[in-house]
Amino acid sequence: MTLYLIRDDDGNATTDPTRLERAYLPLLDAGIPLNFSIVPEVRLDTLGPDGRREAFLNPSTTAKNACATLERRTPLAEWLRAHRGQVGVMMHGLSHERRRGGTEFGALSTSEAVRLMVRGLDVLERALDVCPRGFVAPWDAFCRESLGVATSAFDLVSTGYVDRIRLAPRSWASHLVERVSGAGVVAAGRGWVVRHPGCVFTADTRGGDVDGILSRISADALVCVVVLHHWMFWGSGEPHPVIVELAQRLRGKGVCRVDRVIEELDSLAPGWALRRAAGRGAQRILGGGWNRLGVGESGATRDFSGGRA
């Protein structure tokens, strides 16, 4: 069975939770869990490649301060705390600014990445009373150093394509298995790097295409990550056809909050990636479903994963 993780990016202190809730009402009403990857301390003067202010910044927010920090009394923080039973929270960078090379985490030293992540975790924990276990880099941009810190600090890192060269050598076998199987999950650091197929749902996607897209992106995936951006879907007062269709198609499927996804991945047979890669060959890996990865089997300890807390 494929697990589904719905990830909404770019929520921040300027985000209007009333509008956010309205955009996702079909999913919320269907009892489908959502995960919000939140920018802890959003930079207010960040511009997109077109020179315009980033679309995830509330246009009515003036940039008299450099950043807007998520605080306990911030409306979005209050909404997230009130909906804790249905929504999960991940950390989306620290400020979502183009710090270096057009990205926030794409060109950092280890000490710089540590400093940003510690600050972000501190902000989110104070505002939300939870310490997020998942991380999303703005624009999915990591360097080897920042990915190393992220996989040491978080149980789940959600990203697009991940190069082997950006991973520690102890993750290379797991990475090979991921490339062959298309399962989208690599054991790394203290937990898991979970790949997504890109931003396949946008405001231009037709509702009638949603089912086919879901089938395609979930075909081989152990965890099918559905990446959404609320600011693409909240243009009109009515729910967007993509969100309406997702609510219908995902009802009754294994849609989870991020903490549950981590638990399910942790329950995989210890050492599944290495044993499958080394001993059973690609044909077995290419079979369908969870069983190809040895769910429920017991075996050697996951000695390639590094020290997991």
Binding site for Zn ion (CB under 5 A): 9-10, 138
For the CB of residue 35, give the shortest distance to Zn ion in the complex, in Å. 14
Structure tokens at 35: 């995960």
For 104, list phi and psi in degrees, rounded to 5.
-95, -40
For the CB of residue 207, give the shortest distance to Zn ion in the complex, in Å. 24
C-alpha Rg value of the chain to the nearest Å: 19
Closer residue to Zn ion (CB): 38 or 222 = 38
Closer residue to Zn ion (CB): 138 or 294 = 138
Which residues are bridge partners to 7 per DSSP?
Answer: 35, 227
For the CB of residue 7, give the shortest distance to Zn ion in the complex, in Å. 10
Closer residue to Zn ion (CB): 54 or 245 = 54
Which residue blocks in 162-270 are alpha helix, DSSP H? 172-181, 210-218, 230-233, 241-249, 258-266
Closer residue to Zn ion (CB): 10 or 178 = 10
Rounded Cα distance between 110 and 26, Å, is 41
Q: From residue 69, give the alpha-carbon distance in Å to each of 11, 79, 137, 228.
A: 12, 15, 18, 22
For the CB of residue 156, give the shortest distance to Zn ion in the complex, in Å. 17
For the CB of residue 138, give the shortest distance to Zn ion in the complex, in Å. 5
Closer residue to Zn ion (CB): 94 or 128 = 94
Cα-Cα-Cα-Cα dihedral sign, residues 157, 141, 99, 308: positive
SS3 11: strand
Closer residue to Zn ion (CB): 97 or 178 = 97
- The answer to whether 189 and 306 have CB atoms below 8 angstroms apart is yes
For the CB of residue 85, give the shortest distance to Zn ion in the complex, in Å. 25
Rounded Cα distance between 196 and 147, Å, is 16
Q: From residue 43, give the alpha-carbon distance in Å to each of 56, 83, 96, 104, 228.
A: 11, 26, 6, 11, 21
For the CB of residue 142, give the shortest distance to Zn ion in the complex, in Å. 13
Closer residue to Zn ion (CB): 108 or 293 = 108
Rounded Cα distance between 96 and 38, Å, is 10
